[in-house]
Structure 1
Amino acid sequence: MDKIIEKKRFNKKTILTITGVVLFLALVAYGYNLSLSKVYKADADKISVSKVIFGDFEDVVLLNASVVPLTSVIVSSPEGGTVAEIFTENGASVEKGTPLLRIANPNALSSYTSSETSITEQINQLRKLRLDLEQNQRVMSQDMMEIENSLRTATRKYKIDSTLYSKKVITQQEFNISSQDYEYYQGRKRILKDAVKQENQSRVMQLQQIDFSITRMNQSLETIRQNIENMTIKAPVAGRLSSYDPVIGKSYGANEMLGKIDVLQGYKLQASVDEYYVNRVKEGQTANCEFNGKTYQLTVKKVIPEVTAGQFQVELTFEREAPEGLRRGLSMQIKLTLSDNSKSLLLAQGQFFQSTGGSWAFVVKDGKATKRTIKIGRKNYLYYEVLEGLQKDEEVITSSYDQFTQYDIIEIDK
């Protein structure tokens, strides 16, 4: 009798297949879960971890400043042109009025000469007109003298003839002649007197206008001569010449800077500040610096808020006399105080801020770092002020996040 053999439900091949499928699904599930959590593995020696501390926050900023003269005067040429002669060199000490160089500008010189000639001719014409007016006054004065003399003669004869006529010594016709002459010269005197009065009023006004015009023209002449003289550039003040590098034949535009003269009456510091502090740096704030082993106090005297290449400029002066030995261009580090110290949670500065802007950070616990939202306030040259999101003694990755900004968890391999 034949024995019935039962067929197995799973053969070896089927079991292997099922096992492979299960392993594949497990790997897929693990990979999917890993992608959701976005875990990044980092070596401990390639990251920096800092602990949150509680202490005094110094609201200060370190600045690199340069020593510059307290006062500098720009040297420029009112007229453009090319350098014809150079009389001194950069770094030289000069007195006020010392010739520095001569600018040549043939076109401007020709224009000045032509204008000078024209104005001189106009002045000569006005002076001739003045002489004519004065001559006319003299003529009218002479006419008045002659009429007054004739009137005196006619008056005397009229009085004599009046007496003679009353005594019947002379005839009516002879008396009438004397009377007519007397009245004639009286009338001429009145007319000439009115004419002289009007002429004098007109002459006074014309002479005032002539004098005013001549004065203005002389001023124009002086300006022209000064412009010609200004082609020789002279030191406007006494001091030391700097930023001065003319070359024979080099062209300069009108009012273009040729150099500077540093007035040797003290120094100040000029520093560039990160735009992050543009609303916090103000005139009157204090700072300090060290030089030759001594600490010197400074005051912010000027803030130039225009931001260029992410920075703005400030100028600081010494509260007392500047230290001896300072030289233009010397670099110094200064500590600028923005406000008084205060107790705060502090986190060491690091490159993570460039990636997060201080809005979040990776907080380390048990070998793993997780992303957490935080809030950063002020910063100084050592620390950030922590406002929210962190507690004392918690640890934070403060090195650069460039490689793992897209991850939520960082596993730290020791």
Structure 2
Amino acid sequence: MDSQIPQEIIDRRKRKRIVKFSSIGTAIIVLFIVLVSVLRSGIDASAISTAVADRGALEVSVTATGKVVPLFEEIIASPVASKVLEVYRKSGEQLQEGDTILRLDLAATNTDFERQRDELEMKRSKIEQQRSNAETQLSEMAMQIRIDSMRLRRAEVQLRNERYLDSIGASTADKIRQAELELAVQAMQYDQLKLKYANLQKNTAADLRVTELDYNIARKNFALATKTMGDAQVRAPRAATLTWVNDQIGSTVAQGAQLAIVSDLSRFRIEGEIADSYAEKVAPGNQAVVEIGSERLTGIVGNVVPAVANGLIKFSVILDQNDNPKLRSGLKADVFIINSVKDDVVRIPNRSYYRGPGRYELWGIADGVARKRSVELGESSYEYVEVVKGLEPGETVIVSDMSRFKNEAKLKIRN
């Protein structure tokens, strides 16, 4: 028969169990607190990117945005108001120089062209007729001058004869005066005719110049009309890709309206834009670095548009390797324009943490612990950022995003 366990033993066993469970619970709580503390104040080394500050040259640059565009792109505009009759090519097709892209209705334009050609021929004929008439008039007047010259010499001879006869008593004073009067009249008529001849020469030359000027204007207009007729035959200006065409047959197009766009998709350039506050740092000839994904290309700044639109200025970058296979029309790119070089500066790699010159809270690493520290950063290049103060060469900093630890002062780096 079982005996009853004393109450004292039962109470002692209860106390042991309570102590045991309390110890286990306390250990679990302490372990939990330790784990939470470690998790809160530590970070895996594989989750961060670090860099070592060093000393070297810094190519100071400003950052702009850019887009890849074809090196050559030409918009073909309608030279006349017309309508589309036929379309021979589709967007995306390869073109050779001279290939016909589409045909316009040129009936009205051709009528105007024929009219201008007829007017030009009429003006040319008018010049020839005017020149012939002038030559005839001048020739007739020149002949009349020669005749009057002979009459003048005859009057001079008659006067000498009368004076001779008078000297021998065979003439009278009246006959001498009559001969002198006749000579004076002939001289005046001769001078008058020469003056008329000189004036006729000037007038006919002036009239001819006016007519020739009118003809030259008509000739230039006709040349322009001829060019317009040639341009109205919408052909590829060079070997390229047809990137767009107005394929709406029967649609009316105004003079100057776009008909097609042809592009050379084997070579490219960069069209960039930057805030106008950096205008003085962007000039033709500046070195530039273009980043497209992981690809980095070099080039120089070409044309800079002087006008400002919406607080931005536009510029182009001519690439050293404009046929790189990574280039595709329309791709976005980061453009770094180099405008000066600083030698022997403390620097760290340029990453997403950098937002311009100023004071930053960066994490320095030493003895497996990251500590927040105040660092003043200066100018930057596409690769590095200048450290003004707060870091020395050889020190290690975290360059990845640490915004989630903004309320921490130090972190343990877990390997």
TM-score bucket of the superposed structures, by smaller chain? 0.5 to 0.7
Q: Does 1:314 align with 2:313?
A: no
SS at match of 1:254: coil
Corresponding residue of 1:36: none
Check the 8 A contact 2:272/2:315 in 1, yes or no.
yes
Q: Distance in 1 between matches of 2:272 and 2:243?
A: 20
**Alpha-carbon offset, residue 254 of structure 1:** 1.9
Corresponding residue of 2:52: 53
Corresponding residue of 1:5: none
Q: Does 1:245 align with 2:245?
A: yes
Corresponding residue of 1:192: 193
Q: Distance in 2 between matches of 1:283 and 1:344?
A: 28
In structure 2, the CA distance between the partners of 1:43 and 1:288, relative to structure 1 (3 Å rule), is: closer
The one-letter code matched in structure 2 to 1:227 is T
Note the aligned Cα RMSD (angstroms). 6.0
**Alpha-carbon offset, residue 201 of structure 1:** 3.3
**Alpha-carbon offset, residue 204 of structure 1:** 3.2
Q: Distance in 1 between matches of 2:409 and 2:402?
A: 15
In structure 2, the CA distance between the partners of 1:82 and 1:226, relative to structure 1 (3 Å rule), is: same
Corresponding residue of 1:220: 221
Q: Distance in 2 between matches of 1:171 and 1:371?
A: 140
**Alpha-carbon offset, residue 148 of structure 1:** 3.8
Corresponding residue of 2:19: none
The one-letter code matched in structure 1 to 2:204 is R
- 1:248-259 to 2 correspondence within 5 Å? 248=249, 249=251, 251=253, 254=256, 256=258, 258-259=260-261
Q: Distance in 1 between matches of 2:218 and 2:113?
A: 14
Corresponding residue of 1:140: 141
Check the 8 A contact 1:50/1:347 in 2, yes or no.
no
Check the 8 A contact 2:361/2:372 in 1, yes or no.
yes
In structure 2, the CA distance between the partners of 1:134 and 1:102, relative to structure 1 (3 Å rule), is: farther
In structure 2, the CA distance between the partners of 1:302 and 1:156, relative to structure 1 (3 Å rule), is: closer
SS at match of 2:199: helix
- 1:225-374 to 2 correspondence within 5 Å? 225-236=226-237, 238-247=238-247, 248=249, 249=251, 251=253, 254=256, 256=258, 258-260=260-262, 262=264, 267=267, 270=270, 279=281, 283=285, 285=287, 299-300=299-300, 302=302, 304=304, 314-318=317-321, 329=328, 344=346, 346=348, 349-350=351-352, 353=354, 359-361=359-361, 363=363, 372-374=373-375
Check the 8 A contact 1:77/1:258 in 2, yes or no.
no
Check the 8 A contact 2:58/2:384 in 1, yes or no.
no
Q: Distance in 2 between matches of 1:362 and 1:184?
A: 116
**Alpha-carbon offset, residue 277 of structure 1:** 9.9
Q: Distance in 2 between matches of 1:220 and 1:202?
A: 27
| TM-score, scaled relative to structure 1 | 0.56
SS at match of 2:228: helix
In structure 2, the CA distance between the partners of 1:314 and 1:169, relative to structure 1 (3 Å rule), is: closer
**Alpha-carbon offset, residue 152 of structure 1:** 5.4
Q: Which segments of 5 or more consecutive residues in structure 1 lack a partner in the other structure?
A: 1-39, 290-294
In structure 2, the CA distance between the partners of 1:161 and 1:88, relative to structure 1 (3 Å rule), is: farther
SS at match of 2:246: coil
Corresponding residue of 1:92: 94
Check the 8 A contact 1:54/1:343 in 2, yes or no.
no
SS at match of 1:230: helix
Q: Which segments of 5 or more consecutive residues in structure 2 lack a partner in the other structure?
A: 1-38
Q: Distance in 2 between matches of 1:309 and 1:176?
A: 97
Q: Distance in 1 between matches of 2:88 and 2:139?
A: 57
Between the two proteins, the alignment pairs up a number of residues equal to 357
Q: Distance in 2 between matches of 1:363 and 1:79?
A: 67
Check the 8 A contact 2:155/2:182 in 1, yes or no.
yes
SS at match of 2:220: helix
The one-letter code matched in structure 2 to 1:185 is Q
- 1:49-88 to 2 correspondence within 5 Å? 49-51=48-50, 53-55=52-54, 68-69=70-71, 75-79=76-80, 81-86=82-87
- CA offsets 1:88-112 (integer angstroms, 9 cap, x no match): 55543433x6654444588877887
SS at match of 2:188: helix
In structure 2, the CA distance between the partners of 1:81 and 1:364, relative to structure 1 (3 Å rule), is: same
